[in-house]
């Protein structure tokens, strides 16, 4: 995508281009995006879906950015660094867990839609 295209374009100028892809980060933006009607303990449930068992912190993201700005990363370009505690690789498992209790739903997509509507009530 975009990161690799920019890295190719700017490599001749000795400019590196990389991307940090954060996961679920415990920050004010997460609290603002969480519906007020969300079930108590929903943050704990979200943290349990992360293989490392916790939400990320702004410091986790800052560490990756700091590394990419350092001399140690001078030969890295066109890379996307996932800083998500393993959440991306566990996404399919998390979706299966969330949809497993939907006996009345005909498809996982309908079940996820039902869960979203239930949280908005």
The count of domains in the chain is 1
Whether the model pTM is above 0.85 = no
Could you report the per-residue pLDDT of 69-82, keeping only the tens digit for each? 999 999 999 999 99
Residue 20 lies in a domain: yes
Residue 96 lies in a domain: no
Could you report the per-residue pLDDT of 3-17, keeping only the tens digit for each? 999 999 999 999 999
Q: What is the mean pLDDT of the chain?
A: 83
Residue 114 lies in a domain: no
Residue 35 lies in a domain: yes
Q: How far apart are CA 23 and CA 86, in angstroms?
A: 9
Residue 15 lies in a domain: yes
Structural domain span for residue 17: 2-86
Q: Locate tokens 């700091």: which residue?
A: 66
Residue 61 lies in a domain: yes
Higher-pLDDT residue of 32 and 64 is 64
Question: If you compute the radius of gyration of the chain from its CA atoms, what whole number of angstroms results?
Answer: 18
Q: How far apart are CA 34 and CA 96, in angstroms?
A: 21
**Model confidence at 121, in pLDDT bands (50, 70, 90)?**
very low
Residue 110 lies in a domain: no
CA dihedral sign of residues 32, 35, 39, 44: negative
- Confidence at residue 120, expressed as pLDDT on a 0 to 100 scale: 43
- Confidence at residue 33, expressed as pLDDT on a 0 to 100 scale: 79
Residue 74 lies in a domain: yes
Distant-in-sequence, close-in-space partners of 23: CB < 8 Å, separation ≥ 6:
50, 56, 82, 83, 84, 85, 87, 88
**pLDDT at position 94 over 80:** no
CATH number at residue 56: 3.40.50.720
């Amino acid at each position: 995508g975009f990161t690799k295209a920019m890295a190719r374009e700017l490599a001749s100028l000795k400019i590196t281009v990389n991307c940090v892809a954060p996961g679920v980060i415990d920050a004010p933006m997460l609290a603002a995006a969480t519906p007020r009607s969300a079930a108590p303990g929903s943050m704990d449930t979200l943290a349990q879906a992360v293989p490392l068992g916790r939400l990320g912190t702004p410091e986790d993201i800052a560490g990756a950015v700091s590394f990419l700005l350092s001399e140690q990363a001078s030969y890295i370009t066109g890379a996307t660094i996932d800083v998500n505690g393993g959440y991306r690789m566990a996404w399919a498992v998390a979706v299966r867990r969330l949809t497993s209790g939907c006996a009345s739903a005909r498809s996982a997509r309908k079940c996820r839609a039902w869960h979203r509507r239930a949280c908005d009530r």
